[in-house]
Amino acid sequence: MKRKLFIVLTLIVLITAFWMPDASSHKIRYIERATNEVKVEEVAGEKWLIWLYNNPVGRLSTKAIVKRKIVSTWYGNKMNSPKSKGKIATFISEYDIDTTAVVMEDFANFNEFFIRKLKKSARPINTNENVIVSPADGKVLAWDNVDESDFIVKGYKFNLNEYLQDNELAKEFAGGSMMLIRLCPTDYHRFHFPVSGIIEETKKIDGDYYSVSPIAIKKIVELFCLNKRELTLIETEDFGDIIMSEIGATMVGSIVNTYDGDVVAKGQEKGYFKFGGSSVMLIFKKGEIAIDSDILENTKKGFETQIFMGERVAIGKE
């Protein structure tokens, strides 16, 4: 009897461990801004993401191992190896990445390709003084009042104090607007300043390395307050103080800031993410800016909007 029970339990564990849910039910749909069409995102490692966040054994593995820095550091080092260069051509082909705008033509390893620089002409910056531009390529969600809006999952409110880990700063930005730009592994992975201004303060917050994919967020909606992140407070003349925050994620080796000095310009490179998906968050004080209506409407309908670094995403209120 005990032997039969052991066999049954073993079979259950094995079936659960290797069960892969139907990927079609987890497809990420977004709005292509230029055409207003609904598109389906090609997700790198999609089946494993689904397994890690939807399978019981996968969720256990995520909490016990995958979220930890050591895993992301190990994989980041692997992507720095000369052997990883062989993955570049396959990655470009599989995800149809446009390389005509890339500055370099040859890369020593995959991470060098991953943090590739683009020609300035590839991402024109909206120079209108009253315009806030996207800090990165990616897919954006936005809320005009973060205290009153559902954050990604219906019924969940974003905890600004928990995210900032600063009571006074959270009070200053209470009721403000927020934008979340998600970069997937196929995106251009350098991030830039969305406005011109003066750096008032920077802060690093240690945390985990959960995935920032919608596949993961639907299961662990509060992960933005759990992940490693960096905060930069920017003083501006036209938009009040702005918080720009970079968020680490699974397989992100590190967040690297490259800017120098306290005075920064709109469109200037701020830094880059090493291998993996990641996010950039922008937080604005109440009444200072107006987010573009198409982005807000798409968010209310449950869709991210595809954007590119340098294009308009909001304006200052007159």
* C-alpha span between 73 and 224 (Å, rounded): 19
Six-digit token pair at 204?
Answer: 């690093």
Please report the DSSP string for 196-246 in residue order: -EEEEEEEEE--B----SHHHHTT-GGGGGTB-EEEEEEE-SSS-EEEEEE
Q: Which of 72, 192, 241, 279 is catalytic?
A: 192
Q: Name the 3-class secondary structure at 15.
A: helix
Contacts of residue 176, defined as CB under 8 A and 6 or more positions apart, other chains included, come to: 145, 146, 283, 284, 285, 286, 288
**Catalytic choice (26, 84, 134, 137):** 137
Q: From 265, 150, 168, 245, select the one nearest 203 (Cα to Cα).
A: 245
Q: Is 192 a catalytic residue?
A: yes
Q: Hey, which residues are catalytic here? A: 137, 192, 278
